[in-house]
Structure 1
Amino acid sequence: MKKKITGVKTRLGRNLTDNAVTRYFTFSALYTAQGIPEGITYLAMPAWLAMNGKSAMEIAALVSMMLIPWSFKILIAPLMDRFTLLSMGRKRPWVIFGQLGLILSFLNLGLVPDPLNNLSGLMIAGFMVNFFGAFQDVATDGMAVEVIPREEQARANGLMWGSKTIGISLSLIIGTWLINNFGFSVAVSSLAVEVAIIMIFPIYFKERPGEKLLPWTSGKASIDSKKTQLRSWKHIFKSLYKVVILKSSLVLCIGIFLLGIMFGLVDTLLPIFSIQELGWTNSYFSNILSITTVIGGFSGMLIGGYLVDYFGKIKMLTLYLVLITSIITIFAFMTNLWGSIYVVIAFILSYSVLYTFLCIAVFASAMHLCWKTVAATQFALYMALSNMGRAAGAGLLGILKTNFNWEIVFLSISIIPFILIIIIQFINLRKHRIIVNSFDVIPYKMAVPPVIKN
């Protein structure tokens, strides 16, 4: 039976810590903003380049380069844990800064001259878009871990990842339409307006009561923020090491890296495969992927979080991995049916839904493993490993396609979730939580993980 969440206001208010509706509303908006750069840089741009005859190796190199900044999250997060304008909250000032950088970097990407024949320029400008996308992502994730109660995490992740996939699909379909009708510069620059509108949310809503809305307004740092704010780099990294070396955390690190490789392979594969192998146009690809992504996003928002809450994180992760292994393997052996639009759409739709559900379960598990003392840094480590895997997967796709046919490429991808099914069985969230809770009870230097019997 689910526990009823008590002591939480259910009407929209100004403070994230004491208002569930405010939390869901704000983080959904911020995750929509995270989806915008992904939709245009990882999907719309590669599809446009594939449509204009660029090779799989060239497109894979571009995507791989743009994914690299997401690996920097582990460097950005300690900075946010160590420094902040505490009177505005622990992470909210960084969220606002990341949003501002995202707006400016989009405008810069739109200024790249002759983008079709200037892949190096696209790489540099796309790198900057994704750098600030990663920056905003770290700040948002850190704020989410700190202000979302544990009993709301799966539900909140469902809403957040659903919103992100909707942001990706809207960015993809609108961006593609604008590129085809008004040119690359107008398409990319217009997305800066969307990000600017979403910036209203972190400006308007505060983390905790009594904090400043903006640096020049009245308010002060909350007691909770002061208690959890770390004052030395040594303490940050010792605390991070202390929690990351726990068994479940190490297993998740390995699993999340491998899962990132799979995501990077499939995301880079889809536009190239559908346009250059199946003969689709970039508009047709964008429409299909946008529709399937929205379906996946809404499915995640409506039932993704509840399934994880009801059946458990590891059980649902196992089920999702079994299903995604099956659909990729089956599709690989259906080469004679690849000419059927219905078969291909069914595959993309199945993958999109399972992708969203997997993200919800994985990141809810990652939040569960986090120790609030170093929540932003720890969660960023998990996300950095995921994005390192994505960058590796994107680069690997070019190598695989150059040396093998599409059937072998799909079969190679299906091996990854199969391995993950075995790996995640070694994660024990309950034991990990007991150990982490002991860190907050026992003085830092004397804290020793308790002995837990099976």
Structure 2
Amino acid sequence: MHDHATQPTIAQRAFFALLYLSEGAPIGYIWWAMPTRLRAAGMPVEQVAALTSLLTLPWALKFLWAPAVDRLRNRRWGYRAWITLAQALMGLTLLPLALLPLSEITGIVTLLLISHAVAAATQDVSIDALAIATIPDDAYGRVTGWMQAGMLVGRATFGGLALTAEQWIGSQAVVLILIGCIWCTLAVVWLFPLDHIKANARPESDRTFAAALITVLSRRATWIGLAIALIAGAGFEAVGGLMGPFLHDRGLDKETVGLYFAFPVVLCMIVGSLIGGWAADRWGHKALVQSSILAIALAIAVLVAADLNTSGIALMAAAAPIYLALGSLTASSYALFMDLTDPAIGGTQFSAFMGATNLCEVWSIALAGAIVSKSDYPIAFGCAAAISLIALPLVPFARRAHTLPK
């Protein structure tokens, strides 16, 4: 328990929420809107799942270049400079999609989206490292709750509302607005004051990057954390990744699905994130992670049962508890991974944990898509939920970094 947790300021929480909004906006468009559009256009569900998995890979592999973000820093070039570079490239790689008809650039669309994903993953590394370097250790849960709320607002706007907005202003205009959202947040990146940076996270820290990395790799908790990240989210990743195609195949049109993602889904996830983050700081990050994993598995069982007897709006309602529990798991697990992270290599170590969660998304969506192509959605969702339970006995062994020898 953390009964006397340090209270992060509203401004600090809002700052990181806004940064995560700039992350969530393009993720929502690429991960949520596009799969539904492609499925509605007749693409087989296994192909939709494969494409989504491909665009997720840069987030899963970002730990490979995260050391550059940690190592290539000085008093003039820090995490904020890395964020600026990444967001500039994020907008530039989307610009052709905003200025030219899709039919004219079909040959380079995949390259543009992958390049955007690499830049976005680098932005993610930099923001997370900045958070670990500045947020008090015992306030991780509440701040990550706000960060996820910002992420979800971005996802809702460009992953749900975008499907409806495209009918009125066109897909190119939606992408142009998305670019504006990414670039406008750069002003806040530089205007917000960062008064406190942990001593061992400063570029001039006596601890070398190599020494910190060797220490981290020698910790059992690091590998346990990676295993948790790779497994715990399998249930909600499979359901979340295929929810759009699932609802479409159950008779709902893409506009209704878009509104569902934009409002009920995001509201449930925001509420779950804020409550889960607060509860994690109060009752323990590990306890909330375990409770959330169980809650997601139970909620998926309810959805599978509902699929036997209901359809349409009732099926959407049955899926809502999954997103509540998902918000709680996201906030509490991110706080747990921050506990395990050494601020001296915050970008590298935390990105490894996040990369494992993204890799979990890759394999779970791909597996679920393959199962659906051979059987049906309930079996795929049930298998993924069962696999996620393997993480439960691992959580108690994820010890906080500061309790281990340096």
Q: Normalization by structure 2: what TM-score? A: 0.91
1:433 pairs, out of 389, 402, 406, with 402
**Who is 1:12 aligned against?**
none
Does residue 87 of structure 1 match 2:76? yes
- The alpha-carbon distance between structure 1 residues 51 and 153, as it changes in their structure 2 partners (threshold 3 A), is same
Q: In 2, distance between residues paired with 1:223 and 1:355?
A: 32
Does residue 169 of structure 1 match 2:156? yes
- Write the letter of the residue equivalent to 1:327: A
Does residue 96 of structure 1 match 2:84? yes
Output aligned runs, 1:4-19, within 5 Å: 5=6
C-alpha deviation, 1:306, in angstroms: 1.3
8 Å CA contact 2:33, 2:258 repeated in 1: yes
2:64 pairs, out of 75, 92, 110, with 75
**Who is 2:369 aligned against?**
398
Q: In 2, distance between residues paired with 1:318 and 1:4?
A: 21
- The alpha-carbon distance between structure 1 residues 402 and 246, as it changes in their structure 2 partners (threshold 3 A), is same
**Who is 2:124 aligned against?**
137
Output aligned runs, 1:11-410, within 5 Å: 20-88=9-77, 90-110=78-98, 113-114=101-102, 118=106, 121-208=108-195, 225-228=202-205, 235-275=208-248, 277-300=249-272, 302-342=274-314, 344-410=315-381
- Write the letter of the residue equivalent to 1:196: W
Please give the secondary structure, in 1, of the residue aligned with 2:311.
Answer: coil
Q: In 1, distance between residues paired with 2:213 and 2:307?
A: 47
Q: In 2, distance between residues paired with 1:74 and 1:140?
A: 14
User: Once the two structures are superposed, what CA deviation does each residue of 1:112-148 show, in whole Å capped at 9, x if it has no partner?
Assistant: 6546994x64432221222221111100000000011
C-alpha deviation, 1:299, in angstroms: 1.1
Please give the secondary structure, in 2, of the residue aligned with 1:333.
Answer: helix
- Write the letter of the residue equivalent to 1:266: V
C-alpha deviation, 1:261, in angstroms: 4.0
Which has the higher mean CA deviation after the structures are superposed, 101-110 or 407-416?
A: 101-110
Q: In 2, distance between residues paired with 1:25 and 1:362?
A: 20
8 Å CA contact 1:92, 1:206 repeated in 2: no
- Write the letter of the residue equivalent to 2:138: E
Between Structure 1 and Structure 2, whose CA radius of gyration is higher? Answer: 1
- The share of aligned pairs that are identical, in percent, is 21
Q: In 2, distance between residues paired with 1:251 and 1:382?
A: 10
Structure with greater contact order relative to length (CA < 8 Å, sep ≥ 6): 2
8 Å CA contact 2:56, 2:358 repeated in 1: yes
Q: In 2, distance between residues paired with 1:253 and 1:224?
A: 22
Please give the secondary structure, in 1, of the residue aligned with 2:204.
Answer: helix
C-alpha deviation, 1:225, in angstroms: 2.6
- The alpha-carbon distance between structure 1 residues 407 and 394, as it changes in their structure 2 partners (threshold 3 A), is closer
- Write the letter of the residue equivalent to 2:3: K
C-alpha deviation, 1:45, in angstroms: 0.8
- The alpha-carbon distance between structure 1 residues 227 and 84, as it changes in their structure 2 partners (threshold 3 A), is closer
- Write the letter of the residue equivalent to 2:270: F
**Who is 1:450 aligned against?**
none
- The alpha-carbon distance between structure 1 residues 149 and 36, as it changes in their structure 2 partners (threshold 3 A), is same
Q: In 1, distance between residues paired with 2:252 and 2:399?
A: 45
- Write the letter of the residue equivalent to 1:182: I
Aligned length, in residue pairs: 404
- The alpha-carbon distance between structure 1 residues 394 and 410, as it changes in their structure 2 partners (threshold 3 A), is closer
- The alpha-carbon distance between structure 1 residues 321 and 291, as it changes in their structure 2 partners (threshold 3 A), is same
Q: In 2, distance between residues paired with 1:259 and 1:185?
A: 37
Q: In 1, distance between residues paired with 2:352 and 2:176?
A: 31
- Write the letter of the residue equivalent to 1:227: E
Gaps spanning 5+ residues in structure 2: where? none
Which has the higher mean CA deviation after the structures are superposed, 183-192 or 350-359?
A: 183-192
